[in-house]
Amino acid sequence: MSNNHRILIIDEVHPVLLELLAGFEVIYLPDIKLIELKEAIRSASILVVRSKLTLTKEWIDRGVKLKYIGRLGSGMDNIDVVYASSKHIICENAPEGNRNAVAEQTVGMMLSLLSNINRSSLQVKRSRWDRKGNQGIELRNLTVGIIGFGNVGSRLAEVLHSFGCKIIAYDKYVSGYGSNEVEESSLEELQKRADVISLHVPLNKYSLEMVNESFINKGAKPFFLLNLSRGSVVNISDVVNGLESKKIRGLALDVLPNEKLDTLNDKESEEFDYLVNNENVIVTPHIGGLTKDSYKQLAEVLAKKIKKWDENNPLVN
């Protein structure tokens, strides 16, 4: 292992990451302010981030010695990967670390929608006892469509298999993953057959607001929708309209296009109020990948990747 690389960590991380990177010079500044970061980033050859900073072209240019950017999470949408690559900077994330956590929350939200757990609980808290009105649907008799068959999507399929439901999956980038448990599908076929659609795609120009009015109307039957990927994968206005028209039977969101609630504009506030007051909607604060277990596993995965990269790319003075 090279002792020449200087690692700058600017977000709070599990202590195991610092332990595993003890052979490097590690600068751990989880409370660093942006004005201080402008100078600190200049001497780092490896930068570790979570969500504090959007690594734009300007920030990447400030990192004049940067060779590697590690994201302690699954998404890469807060890093200008294309520009970083043009400067020969390697960018890696750690989706293996929280794939199970997201898959488990997806199943939990799915069962809550199908069995009306959240809705009936809210009603009981208001002294309303409605058994018949909260009659549920069994997952084993449904077809679940998974869009995005990467780390989370594939793990979700493994977890769902035990429920006995039909599982179909579509992925724009990979193929050949079909098996006895999972049927590989086109997007059109998935929209035709799925009773439940669960989104697990990265945010890019292809997935930006992919769930819009057109997508919703292409569903051959009303469906339950879950989004545990990125908020901007869905067009919230169109999803609200889908709920109103009953094309969407129930909705579970762990992410929103704007998660800074104190910055919502008038339209966003109106839509947010509609969602949180709709008994057929579950909204959670982006916690799908945030478990005590995944917090540690993300650190372990990223540390392993950094050390593997360093073995092949030692910094020579």
- Which is the catalytic residue, given 96, 230, 249, 271? 230
Instruction: Please write the tens of the pLDDT for every residue from 15-31.
Output: 999 999 999 999 999 99
Cα–chain-centroid distance for residue 317? 39
- Which is the catalytic residue, given 158, 268, 279, 300? 268
Residues 132 and 241 in one domain: yes
Residues 213 and 238 in one domain: yes
Determine the pLDDT at residue 192: 97
Q: Exposure of 222 by Cβ count < 10 A (0-12 exposed, 13-18 middle, 19+ buried)? A: middle
Name which of 66-75, 231-240, 246-255 the model is least confident about.
66-75
Instruction: Please write the tens of the pLDDT for every residue from 192-212.
Output: 999 999 999 999 999 999 999
On the question of pLDDT at 175 being above 60, the answer is yes
Residues 79 and 172 in one domain: no
pTM (two decimals): 0.91
Average pLDDT over residues 47-53: 93
Does 5 participate in catalysis according to the annotation? no
Number of domain units in the chain = 2
Confidence band of 317 (pLDDT split at 50, 70, 90) = very low
Instruction: Please write the tens of the pLDDT for every residue from 215-235.
Output: 999 999 999 999 999 999 999
Please, what is the average pLDDT of the chain?
Answer: 95
Determine the pLDDT at residue 314: 63
Does 268 participate in catalysis according to the annotation? yes
Amino acid at 279: E
Cα separation of 204 and 209, whole Å?
10
How many C-beta atoms surround the C-beta of residue 186 within 10 A?
10
Share of the chain above pLDDT 90, in %: 95
Determine the pLDDT at residue 315: 56
What is the domain range of residue 80?
6-97+293-312
Confidence band of 39 (pLDDT split at 50, 70, 90) = very high
Residues 261 and 302 in one domain: no
Residues 131 and 170 in one domain: yes
